[in-house]
Structure 1
Amino acid sequence: MSSEFDELDELILYRLARDARGATAADIAREADVSPGTVRNRIQRLEEADVITGYHAHVDYERVGGRLTGLLRCTTTAAEQERLAAQVLSVPGVIGVREAMTGRGNLRVKAVGTDTADLSRISRKLTNLGVEIEDEDLMRAERHHPYHAFGPEEAETGADGTLGVAADEEVLTVTVADEATIAGRTLKEANADGLVGEDVLVVALERDETSVTPNGDTALEPGDRVRLFSTQGVPTDTLRAFGAHDVQ
């Protein structure tokens, strides 16, 4: 499936992740300039390949009788991780379990309770299963957004280096200039030096027509096309650090 994965598949996943109920095959087809039948066939293929594993409602449990949502970071042995993850999911009140690759905290559990006593009951159930609870947090709010790298290019740098941004979008693609302050630094160093705003995420990077998965150790080079995302708007200082010109 991965070898056949293309931009149409990415767009379909982006739109479905953003609003699976409202994204029709006809709407996606118009955006991609293909037929609705092509989109429906692609969706079926993505489902059959287990790329799309389901369609789920995002529920605000606090609005349903004032219920509380808890996040628990738990640890188990690698040999027992898969078995215990299945058992944890069967505990009443647990609505999600994620298996992480880390040694400590390799199970992340999301649970809903009527009150703190109910969440404590869930914690005791997990402990009785042989799971070690590292820490617990009450979740105040949760927000979702599809993977930005699969989405359409909402804004690009122009030939003169200026940036055009759609008013309702907060995804920008910038090109690292030769003289950019950020050039030669890793993302970890750039964040430590305050060159990337606190609310800014580097979600995709293209270098020499090759996609690079960005992480803290990724060093930015002149000519890199970097996609930035921010819920608050990308700060002017961040744009200047990438070498964008005529930023007001």
Structure 2
Amino acid sequence: MNSDDVPDPGDFAGADPLNERTDTLDRGIIYLLQKNARTSFTDVAAALGVSDNTVRNRIDRLQDVGIIDGYTIEIDYNQTPGQHHYIFICSARVTQREELAEAALDIPGVVEVRTLMTGERNVHIEAVGVDNDDITRIAFALDELGLEVVQEDLIRREDRRPLANFEFEKRD
């Protein structure tokens, strides 16, 4: 959809077959916020052809039910001076996975932790350090927690896009 296209407000009636907790208006709001979380309610409303209050009420509801969980900024650590952006692929016993992942967030330099539903390589940790010694300190701290560091790599680049399921199109 072209950013100049404005969906017909009538397009937003009915349930979304992908998720009974949202409709196409919710999807439009989510899509626009995924593209830029700083988009104002006024701009979202204008793009979707509804009022600011409708957008505000919908966002409040999406937050209340846990679909929208927060707003963040994206940092390109490669553009910041003296930073090394790393990913550590770790393994943890399934019974300890969540506890160890939470504890890893307390290590200085750890910026994100993901847990996976696999038996091995089930904890992915992103960290930022100023030099190789800093990255080694983080690796040792992860090991001391009880995570087995299976692999560590320098992150060259990350790209994101809004989930296509939330895209909206103007209907003719």
Q: State the TM-score, normalizing by the size of structure 2.
A: 0.83
Question: Identity of paired residues, percent?
Answer: 39
Report matched runs for 1:24-103 at 5 Å. Answer: 24-103=40-119
Q: Of the two, which has the highest radius of gyration?
A: 1
Two-structure CA RMSD over aligned residues (Å) = 1.4
Per-residue displacement from partner, 1:85-119 (whole Å, max 9, x unpaired)? 11011111100000101111110100000012211
What letter corresponds to residue 47 of structure 1 in structure 2?
Answer: Q
When the two structures are superposed, what TM-score results if normalisation uses the length of structure 1? Answer: 0.59
State the distance in 1 between where 2:53 and 2:43 align: 12
- CA shift, 1:50, in A, is 1.6
Alpha-carbon distance in structure 1 between the residues aligned to 2:53 and 2:32? 16
Please name the residue that 1:182 is paired with.
none
Pairwise CA distance, 1:83? 0.6
Provide the rounded CA distance (Å) in 2 between the counterparts of 1:19 and 1:122. 32
Inter-partner Cα distance in structure 2 for 1:146 and 1:44: 20
CA deviation digits over 1:7-44, x for unaligned, max 9? Answer: 111111111111011x2222222222221111110001
Query: Does structure 1 residue 138 correspond to structure 2 residue 154?
Result: yes
Q: Which has the higher helix share?
A: 2
Mind listing any 5+ residue stretches in structure 2 that lack a counterpart? 1-18
| Higher relative contact order structure (alpha carbons within 8 Å, sequence separation ≥ 6) | 2
Aligned length: 152
Deviation at 1:152, TM superposition (A): 2.5
Corresponding letter in the other structure for 2:26: D
Q: Which 5+ residue runs of structure 1 have no aligned equivalent?
A: 155-248
SS for the counterpart of 2:20 is helix
Deviating 4+ runs (over 6 angstroms): none
